[in-house]
Structure 1
Amino acid sequence: MFTGLVEDRGTVQLLEKNGSAIDLTLEISELITNDAHIGDSVAINGCCLTVVEINSGTLKFQAGAETLEKTNLGLLSQGDQVNIERPLAADGRLGGHFVQGHVDGVGSIKSIDRDGEWITMWFEVPEALSLQMVPKGSVTVDGISLTIVECQPATFSIALIPHTLEVTTLGQKQIGSVVNIETDILGKYVQKLIPLKLDGFNERQ
């Protein structure tokens, strides 16, 4: 379980094809590497991956075909930066929202509107994902817990403060950039339970 509060940015050192999977080696700060162990979970652009190798200043992960199909990890190149977050400690503060690290799909940046140091971004997403969003609700974009400003069929917007732009990769993105999207788990449960509740109600009529 994660919170969507990015702790660090890593840099792709090596990306190797391994059949239908990839081996991903990231240069990461000592904040993360000194606390890492083989088998640990780490969110990479919001996608939960397992540490399989630790070296000085680097961590190695593997991503399979399903992960590559649902996320933007297969689009990475050497030198690209990614958002990093370790799992929430049992005694830690939940500063963002409940993030599983299970990416639902990808979206793309539709527009970037600047207002001084602030930026409003609009994202295009599959309509099935936008149905799980509400204004002022939470969404995870490339592992970042964000608050939705507006949502429409197949699009939504967020307002980014200077701090978020500085410490995450969103400040480097351009129109058309592909991002990982994870909707709020609460919205998924509500969406599934309402039809079941209605079916039960109709059966009693």
Structure 2
Amino acid sequence: MFTGIVQGLAKVIALNKRDQFMQLRLSLPQRNASNLQTGASIAVNGTCLTITEFDQNEVQFDVIEETLQVTNIGSFDVGDTVNFERAARYGDEIGGHQLSGHISSVVTIDEIVRTTDNCTLWLKAPEQLLQYLLPKGFVSLNGCSLTIGEVIGSRFSIHLIPETLAVTTFGSAQQGDRINMEVDPQTQAIVDTVNSFLNNRTL
């Protein structure tokens, strides 16, 4: 489980791409590299990946076909920076919301509105997921737990504080960037339950 509170930026230091498979190697900040274990989970741009090897602050993951198809990990290049969060432990403070690390879809940044102290992103979402995106509800974008501002048509907005811009990849985000999105699982469960009830009621 993850909380959506990104712990920092990791650097892509090696990629081994094969047919529908990729080995990804990241360099973590030294302060976040204690007690690493093979088999442990780390969210990379919000995607739950399993450590297969590690050496000091370097960690390696195997990324299979399904993950490459439904996330933005397949577009990584050596030298890129990515958001990461190590798995939550019992007793940790949950400052965001509970996440599984299972990406719902990749969405695209459609517009960026920046002022001196504020930044608003507008993103386009697939039609089938819009029902789970509610104003003031939660969404995870590249592993960041964020609050939805508005939902208009196929677009939704998020408002980013300077701290989020400073410690995540959103500080260098550009229009057209592809972003991993995980909808809030509790919202999804409620919406699906209500829809199922209403559909059965009309039969």
TM-score relative to the length of structure 2:
0.96
Work out whether residues 130 and 152 of structure 1, in 8 Å CA contact, stay in contact via their aligned partners in 2: no
Aligned to 2:81: 81
Deviation at 1:61, TM superposition (A): 0.6
Aligned to 2:55: 55
- Equivalent in the alignment of 1:108: 108
Partner amino acid, structure 1, of 2:123? F
Q: Give, in whole Å, the separation in 2 of the partners of 1:128 and 1:32.
A: 37
Aligned to 2:160: 160
Residue of structure 2 in register with 1:174 after alignment: 174
1:20 equivalenced with 2:23 (yes/no): no
Report the Cα distance in structure 2 between the residues aligned to 1:173 and 1:123, rounded to whole angstroms: 12
SS at match of 2:103: coil
Task: Tell me how many residue pairs correspond in the alignment.
Answer: 203
Q: How does 1:179-190 map to 2 (within 5 A)?
A: 179-190=179-190
Q: Are the equivalent residues in 2 in contact too, given 1:33–1:54 (CA < 8 A)?
A: no
For 1:91, what is the secondary structure of its paired residue?
coil
| Cα distance in 2 for residues equivalent to 1:134 and 1:96 | 16
Q: CA deviation at 1:198?
A: 2.0
Would the aligned equivalents of 1:129 and 1:154 in 2 still touch at CA under 8 Å? no
Q: CA deviation at 1:35?
A: 2.2
TM-score by length of 1: 0.95
Q: CA deviation at 1:59?
A: 0.3
Q: CA RMSD in A?
A: 1.2
Q: Percent identity?
A: 36
Counterpart of 1:149, as a letter, is G
1:27 deviates by: 0.8
Aligned to 1:2: 2
Which stretches in structure 2 are left out of the alignment for 5+ residues? Answer: none
Is the contact between residue 127 and residue 153 of structure 1 (CA under 8 Å) also seen in structure 2?
no
1:191 Cα deviation after fit: 2.4
